[in-house]
């Protein structure tokens, strides 16, 4: 199963991606976590201690070759088998997860970021296609909508639109949700995060119902997430499986896996 996690900046995409990838790994699945952000920080949320994000190897842009047929879709293919990509460029993370970092922009301020963005987009799209089958992929997306405009998420099975309980965040999630549906992604679901109380929960449910969005999980606001973040540690390492946020992310993983027959 290939899961993309999208939504407004700061909504909790990286926290949910990293934690869910590891929880799936603990269920015995082979998980690849993909950092699709050009300012990567999924490593921390996964608890990769071997290297900070500066030391992680980003996928090289020339990993893809254009196909001869100009109408081919996708237009390019991987030069080396996906297993080799994972061996060479994957970073081992706890619970058997492998981390791939996509679009690190090496020199801020030099040149145009658009190329890094588009390379990342194609690499993710192709990886998603070629790695399908015996692995679960969790893609932590960049904030906003740009990556949805063809490419990056074309080949995912599930897209989770993450929203915090405030209007602009919900509106962004709704646009992400609707765009993903237009792209033909099989399952698009809303995930609420940082829900503090019954009133916020009610407001989100009402919003989801009004706009026809399927709400799959409500992750509570959890001080343990903030504390882990402050310490630069993975939520799972800092708080274990008892934190309310982890419990709900685990339930979410279970629902998604059950839906895919895993």
Ligand X SMILES: Nc1ncnc2c1ncn2[C@@H]1O[C@H](COP(=O)(O)OP(=O)(O)OP(=O)(O)O)[C@@H](O)[C@H]1O
Segment near Mg ion (CB under 5 A); pick from 7-15, 55-63, 96-104, 226-234: 7-15
Q: Is position 169 an interface residue for ligand X (rule: CB under 6 A)? A: no
Q: Is position 33 an interface residue for ligand X (rule: CB under 6 A)? A: no
Segment near ligand X (CB under 6 A); pick from 9-17, 27-35, 70-78, 89-97: 9-17
Determine the Cα–Cα distance for residues 186 and 259; give it in Å rounded to an integer. Answer: 12
Asked if residue 61 lies in contact with residue 117, where contact means CB atoms within 8 angstroms, the answer is: no
193 binding partner (options ligand X, Mg ion, none; Cβ < 5 to 8 Å by kind): ligand X
Q: Is position 14 an interface residue for ligand X (rule: CB under 6 A)? A: yes
Contact with Mg ion (CB under 5 A) among 2, 7, 14, 159: 14
Determine the Cα–Cα distance for residues 123 and 10; give it in Å rounded to an integer. Answer: 24
Q: Facing residues of 190 across strands?
A: 161, 215
194 binding partner (options ligand X, Mg ion, none; Cβ < 5 to 8 Å by kind): ligand X
11 binding partner (options ligand X, Mg ion, none; Cβ < 5 to 8 Å by kind): ligand X
Determine the Cα–Cα distance for residues 37 and 117; give it in Å rounded to an integer. Answer: 9
Determine the Cα–Cα distance for residues 14 and 43; give it in Å rounded to an integer. Answer: 9
Q: Would you state the structure tokens that stand for residue 228, as one six-digit string? A: 């882990």
- DSSP class of 141: P
Contact with ligand X (CB under 6 A) among 77, 171, 178, 229: 229
Q: Is position 91 an interface residue for Mg ion (rule: CB under 5 A)? A: no
Q: How many CA atoms lie within 13 A of 14 on its CB side?
A: 24
Segment near ligand X (CB under 6 A); pick from 27-35, 66-74, 171-179, 221-229: 221-229
Determine the Cα–Cα distance for residues 101 and 124; give it in Å rounded to an integer. Answer: 10
Cα 163 to chain centroid distance, Å, stands at: 14
**Within 10 A of 203 (CB to CB), how many other CB atoms are there?**
17
CB of 238 to ligand X, least distance (A): 11
- Residues whose CB is less than 8 angstroms from the CB of residue 22 and which lie 6 or more positions away in sequence, other chains included: 31, 46, 47, 93, 94, 95, 97, 234, 236
CB of 163 to ligand X, least distance (A): 10
Contact with ligand X (CB under 6 A) among 85, 194, 217, 250: 194
Q: Is position 152 an interface residue for ligand X (rule: CB under 6 A)? A: no
Per-residue mark of binding to ligand X, 104-143 (x: CB under 6 A): ---------------------------------------x
- Residues whose CB is less than 8 angstroms from the CB of residue 240 and which lie 6 or more positions away in sequence, other chains included: 246
Q: Pick between residue 65 and residue 226 the one whose CB is nearest to ligand X.
A: 226
Q: Is position 10 an interface residue for ligand X (rule: CB under 6 A)? A: yes
Residues that bind ligand X (CB under 6 A): 9-15, 37, 143, 193-194, 219, 221-222, 225-226, 229, 245
């Amino acid at each position: 199963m290939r899961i993309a996690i999208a939504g407004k900046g700061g909504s909790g995409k990286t926290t949910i991606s990293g934690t869910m990838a590891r929880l799936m790994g603990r269920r015995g699945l082979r998980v690849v976590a993909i950092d699709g952000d050009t300012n990567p920080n999924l490593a921390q949320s996964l608890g990769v201690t071997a290297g900070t994000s500066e030391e992680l190897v980003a996928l090289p842009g020339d990993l893809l070759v254009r196909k001869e047929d100009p109408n081919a879709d996708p237009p390019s293919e991987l030069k080396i088998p996906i297993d080799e990509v994972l061996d060479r460029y994957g970073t081992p993370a706890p619970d058997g997860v492998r981390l791939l970092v996509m679009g690190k922009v090496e020199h801020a301020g030099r040149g145009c970021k658009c190329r890094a963005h588009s390379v990342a987009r194609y690499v993710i799209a192709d990886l998603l296609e070629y790695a399908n089958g015996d692995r679960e992929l969790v893609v932590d997306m960049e904030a906003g909508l740009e990556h949805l405009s063809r490419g990056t998420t074309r080949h995912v099975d599930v897209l989770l639109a993450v929203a915090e309980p405030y209007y602009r965040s919900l509106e962004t999630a709704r646009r992400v949700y609707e765009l993903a549906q237009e792209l033909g992604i099989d399952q698009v679901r809303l995930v609420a995060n940082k829900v503090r109380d019954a009133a916020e929960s009610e407001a989100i449910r009402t919003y989801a119902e009004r706009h026809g969005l399927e709400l799959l999980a409500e992750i509570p606001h959890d001080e343990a997430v903030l504390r882990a973040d402050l310490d630069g540690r993975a939520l799972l390492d800092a708080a274990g499986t008892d934190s309310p946020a982890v419990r709900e992310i685990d339930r979410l993983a279970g629902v998604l896996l059950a839906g895919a027959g895993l």
